[in-house]
Structure 1
Amino acid sequence: MTDVPAPSLAIGIGSSPAERRQLAQLLGGTEAFLIVSSAEQARKFLDAAAAGPAAMVAPPVETVIDATVSDDDRPPATLRIDSDRRVLHWLDREIELTPLEHDVLLCLVGAPGQVWTYERLHVEVWGNQHLGRGSHMHSVVRRVRRKLARLDATATIQAVRGVGFRLAAA
């Protein structure tokens, strides 16, 4: 019986989208690579890989938006994005997202309170630096705001005039 060498896997950790893009370029010649945003995500992946294929389902991205949904002792309300189904969850409700809505909201949810410039958001979501008048970006944000309102979420997307957008607790 001959030993078959296990395939090698390079894991890169980049906390920002720009770092992850740079890692993808650096690791592009590697047979297999995984890029994550934290050491914790890498550990979860490795634990799931050790557990077998059934455990290899990626968890939805989530972030805590408001720690005081009510006056009682309930846990904090969480705004979650299920990227596999392209669904936004708030408390016990959910709403479907278009691909553009998903990508814009994923950027904003990943860094609540942080301002995403129009340029940076355009590169991340549309994949290029063309801004034009930016009406397409404002249209997507307007649709996401309506969906957040339909869910009665306490989060909102704020416009920072002349700069960009940020996700904030209402």
Structure 2
Amino acid sequence: MSEAKGPIVVCVSPDMAVRERVLRRLDGVGPVLSCADLAELRVMLFPEPPSGQDRGAGPPETPVSYGELVVDPPGHLVTWRGRPLALTRTERRLLTRLVTPPVRLWSYERLFAAVWGGAYLGDTAILHSAIKRLRRKLRLLSGGPRVLTVRGVGYRLVLGSDDSGG
């Protein structure tokens, strides 16, 4: 069956095992588009124009402030109330993405691509582990930013007492 004339199958499931089974069963039928949720499908079908700040692009060229948090990607430095934070390179990259304007929800897929620069294959363990370490360090900051989980979607950064959206 020719790809130009064959059906295009769309599989939307948060369960990677289900998506893999569908791909195996439909092998050879035609193109199969597989994603975790409708938000991811929307991004695949209607990608945002390149902004230089997204989808694995380089970090911002200037320091970014979010409340009293300052992230300086070129200087490899993150400060809270003027004091440097001891973060790993991966933690700095995560925080850089989470504070990059517009501060918004980052899906697992987009955050993974932006920080690790690779294709997201459905295994969130490395991302969850890095976020857990970052949260542990941010928790020590009085009134500091918090990384909230939007269940099944991704993460967002909020300032200390703001618990909306997660």
Equivalent residue for 2:69? 79
- The 2-side partners of 1:122 and 1:15 are apart by 17
Alpha-carbon distance, 1:103 to partner: 0.9
Alpha-carbon distance, 1:113 to partner: 4.5
Q: 2:53 aligns with which of 17, 36, 42?
A: 17
More helix by proportion, 1 or 2? Answer: 1
> Using a 3 Å threshold, how does the CA distance of structure 1 residues 36 and 87 change in structure 2: closer, same or farther?
closer
Q: Specify every segment of 5 or more residues in structure 1 that has no aligned partner in the other structure, as ranges.
A: 1-13, 22-34, 38-57, 66-77
User: 1:83-131 CA deviation, whole Å, 9 max, x = no partner?
Assistant: 2443321113221221111111100011364100000011111111233
TM-score scaled by structure 1?
0.55
TM-score scaled by structure 2?
0.56
Q: Specify every segment of 5 or more residues in structure 2 that has no aligned partner in the other structure, as ranges.
A: 1-49, 161-166
RMSD in angstroms over aligned alpha carbons?
Answer: 2.8
Greater CA deviation, 113-122 or 149-158? Answer: 149-158
- The 1-side partners of 2:119 and 2:52 are apart by 18
Read off the aligned partner of 1:167 and give its amino acid letter: L
Greater CA deviation, 102-111 or 84-93? Answer: 84-93
Residue 55 of structure 2 contacts residue 110 of structure 2 at CA under 8 Å; is this kept in 1? no
- The 2-side partners of 1:131 and 1:86 are apart by 28
Q: Tell me the percent identity.
A: 33
Q: 1:161 aligns with which of 151, 158, 165?
A: 151
Structure 1 runs (4+) greater than 3 angstroms displaced:
18-21
Residue 70 of structure 2 contacts residue 79 of structure 2 at CA under 8 Å; is this kept in 1? yes
Equivalent residue for 1:149? 139
Residue 101 of structure 1 contacts residue 140 of structure 1 at CA under 8 Å; is this kept in 2? yes
> Using a 3 Å threshold, how does the CA distance of structure 1 residues 152 and 92 change in structure 2: closer, same or farther?
same
Alignment length, in residue pairs? 111
Q: 2:66 aligns with which of 64, 67, 71?
A: 64
Residue 118 of structure 1 contacts residue 164 of structure 1 at CA under 8 Å; is this kept in 2? yes
> Using a 3 Å threshold, how does the CA distance of structure 1 residues 82 and 96 change in structure 2: closer, same or farther?
farther
Secondary structure of the equivalent of 1:17? coil
Equivalent residue for 1:69? none
Residue 148 of structure 1 contacts residue 156 of structure 1 at CA under 8 Å; is this kept in 2? yes
Alpha-carbon distance, 1:168 to partner: 0.7
